């Protein structure tokens, strides 16, 4: 619990832009509990942010090392996979990002989040068909995963399939009502989609959790 308190303090300082103080709090958490994967992830996210801002390769190398230490301790850490994949893409190693996430789907065949993160990279690299396939696989594993519904809604909206996009966003919002961006998408699409076309929203039937942490990327 003490280590968790240091992590919470560090996240607050990170959000305030006080990066050296955030690092000090995460180091304190690691001193208390050297096996805490969140502390490694949180520290990696700070080095990632500062490395990009300052064009500091040493900081980016440190971030990559810390991300890997986090994954060694918790192989299914969602935010850490996202952070490392983005870092690899940002440093010209998108092939390694794809390998990282594809390996995760193989190692965790029942993990919907692994497919969602893989879909994210497919989308970033203009492969919406592969992204949609990965998201459908995620929903086959977990119909109540709000991030999968939201991401699929974004793909459908980009493709001009507004009725389906609206249904996906509505499902995502039913599952997680603390996402103001979803409300904005729903309001925008409701103005475009006639009520008859929008249809009814199906009821999901399985369990999920949402990701949390310092990842400096969109949440779905």
DSSP calls for 27-62: HHHHHH-TT-HHHHHHHHHHHHHHHHHHT-HHHHHH
Q: Which of 62, 60, 123 is nearest to 92 (CA)?
A: 60
Amino acid 195: pLDDT: 58
Amino acid 219: pLDDT: 39
For 140-166, the pLDDT digits (tens) are 999 999 999 999 999 999 999 999 999
Q: How far is CA 122 from CA 59, 133, 142, 215, in A?
A: 27, 10, 20, 18
Selected residue with higher pLDDT from 212 and 183: 183
Q: How confident is the model at residue 90 (pLDDT cuts 50, 70, 90)?
A: very high
Domain 1-74 has CATH 1.25.40.10: yes
Q: Evaluate whether 149 touches 179 at the Cβ level (below 8 Å).
A: no
Average pLDDT, the chain: 89
Amino acid 174: pLDDT: 95
Contacts of 62 (CB under 8 A, 6+ apart): 44, 47, 51
Residue whose structure tokens are 């990559």: 64
Give the residue extent of every domain in the chain.
1-74, 149-207
DSSP calls for 141-155: H-TT-HHHHHHHHHH
């Amino acid at each position: 619990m003490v280590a968790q308190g240091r992590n919470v303090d560090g996240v607050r300082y990170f959000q305030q832009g006080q990066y050296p103080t955030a690092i000090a709090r995460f180091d304190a958490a690691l001193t208390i509990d050297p096996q805490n994967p969140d502390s490694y992830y949180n520290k990696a996210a700070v080095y990632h942010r500062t490395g990009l801002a300052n064009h500091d390769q040493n900081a980016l190398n440190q971030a990559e090392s810390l991300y890997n230490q986090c994954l060694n301790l918790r192989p299914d850490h969602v935010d850490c996979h996202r952070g490392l994949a983005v870092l690899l893409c940002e440093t010209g190693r998108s092939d390694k990002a794809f390998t990282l996430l594809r390996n995760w789907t193989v190692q965790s065949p029942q993990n919907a989040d692994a497919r969602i993160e893989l879909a994210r990279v497919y989308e970033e690299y203009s492969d919406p068909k592969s992204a949609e396939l990965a998201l459908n696989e995620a929903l086959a594993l977990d119909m109540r995963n709000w991030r999968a519904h939201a991401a699929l809604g974004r793909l459908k909206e980009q493709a001009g399939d507004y009725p389906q996009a609206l249904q996906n966003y509505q499902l995502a919002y039913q599952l997680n009502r603390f996402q103001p961006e979803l409300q904005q998408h729903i309001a925008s699409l409701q103005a475009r989609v006639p009520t008859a076309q929008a249809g009814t929203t199906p009821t999901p039937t399985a369990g999920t959790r949402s990701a949390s942490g310092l990842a400096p990327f969109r949440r779905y």
